[in-house]
Copies of this chain bind each other. A is one copy, B any other.
Amino acid sequence: MERRSFLKKTGVGIAAGAVAAPAIAQGLPEIQWRLASSFPKSLDTIYGAAEMFQSRVAAATGGKFQIRVFAGGEIVPAFSVMDAVKDGTVECGHTASYYFFGKDPAFALDTAVPFGLNAREFNAWFMHGGGKELLREFFAGYNIMNFPMGNTAAQMGGWFRKEIKSVKDLDGLKFRVGGFAGKVLSKLGTVPQQIPGGDIYPSLEKGTIDAAEWIGPYDDEKLGFQKVAQFYYYPGWWEGGPNLSLYINQDKWKALPEEYKNIIEAAAAEANVDMLAKYDAKNPDALKRLVAGGAKLRPFPRDVMDASYKAAQEVYAETTAASPAFKKIYEAMVKFRDDQNLWHSVADGNFDRFMQTRKR
């Protein structure tokens, strides 16, 4: 206590000793970075995580470390963010790595794969289950450092023009769904469609497609799908807890002072938990409004879930045979996931089920 009070009054201390040293040693450097987000500002919860992150980093460094955030397409096309980070065109990016699973399916494992981890399990796997080491080894091969920075929680299964009564109704269905989920659903006869977010509504309205998945109540509501496809299915088993990450070019990362590295790691973790909290706070009211506006909420029939799970195992067998990186990370993740599901079915699952079904 004495010492601190002395420092305050006199201004003497470590800082004083540095007066005669070169200027650079007297404080941390001014740094300006650019962060390319893959997301539009209209997805305020996802895009907002990058804003929260940069704001914390700036405030924690007295404004010396400034990270300017650009929405998808502003300086880098949404689906080129990973390459831009790898090549150092931008210092960092915020994206869903499963967009890049065409390069290697292992990219999907840093976001979500069908019947994968939920939001809480992803954090547990990454932070204390070996996920961090496996994923960082993979991304190092692309000259990238990765930090989890947001999760939407389990997504919805999407908007369907007709009711899905059994797995047979998926046969021939033109469904706007991408990536791994599309591969799985193809095995059940579904015809996956790749359509940008802005084109989904007119496609559903005209009947060019039969169904479309987007995110969850809060984001879906903005696009008004309930007016043209009333059956709103859950869960989006292909995205049980999609993780968005901060990706940093390794050379830029290594050049940072230790203080800035530590601030980045803590600020990314904060934005990570904050995005999930924001979605949780916003989704219930949006869901109520959607239902009041005509959305018909339906769980996928059990035979759809079982057939999809079975089809997913076929896709995983093919994918692990094709990509050694995928095989290595996926198999570790599955082992961890199965243990998590065992434990979560006990105290948490039982508590949650009681709270969800209690008589009031």
Contacts and interface: CB of A to CB of B under 8 A. Distances in A.
A32 B11 contact: no
Contacts of A199: none
Interface in A303-338: 305-306, 309, 336-338
A234 B280 contact: no
A157 B354 CA distance: 14
B27 A154 contact: no
Interface string A1-21: 001100110011111101100
Interface string A175-197: 00000000000000000000000
Contacts of A337: 355
Number of copies: 2
A62 interface: yes
Contacts of A121: 280
A212 to B, nearest CB: 16
Given A240-B351, A270-B266, A349-B352, A12 B4 contact: no
Contact of A61 (B129, B259, B350): B259
A166 interface: no
A359 B306 contact: yes
A115 B259 CA distance: 42
A140 interface: no
Contacts of A285: 339
A23 B30 contact: no
Interface string A147-172: 00000011111000000000000000
Contacts of A216: 347
Contacts of A19: 19, 23, 26
A263 B262 CA distance: 9
B128 A278 contact: yes
Nearest to A34: B1
B340 A284 contact: yes
A115 B56 contact: no
A216 to B, nearest CB: 6
A202 interface: no
A56 B70 CA distance: 28
B31 A23 contact: no
Interface string A85-108: 000000000000000000000000
Nearest to A299: B350
Contact of A154 (B23, B259, B269, B348): B348
A154 B346 CA distance: 9
A30 B56 contact: no
B341 A356 contact: yes
B356 A266 contact: no
Contacts of A128: 274, 277-278, 280-282
A344 B344 CA distance: 14
Contacts of A203: none
Nearest to A152: B347
Given A235-B347, A258-B62, A347-B156, A115 B355 contact: yes
Q: What are the nearest 3 A-B pairs in CB distance? A: A11-B24, A16-B23, A128-B281
Interface of A: 3-4, 7-8, 11-16, 18-19, 22-32, 56, 59-62, 64, 115, 118-121, 123-129, 153-157, 216-217, 234-237, 240, 257-259, 262-263, 265-267, 269-270, 272-274, 276-278, 280-285, 287-288, 297, 299, 305-306, 309, 336-360
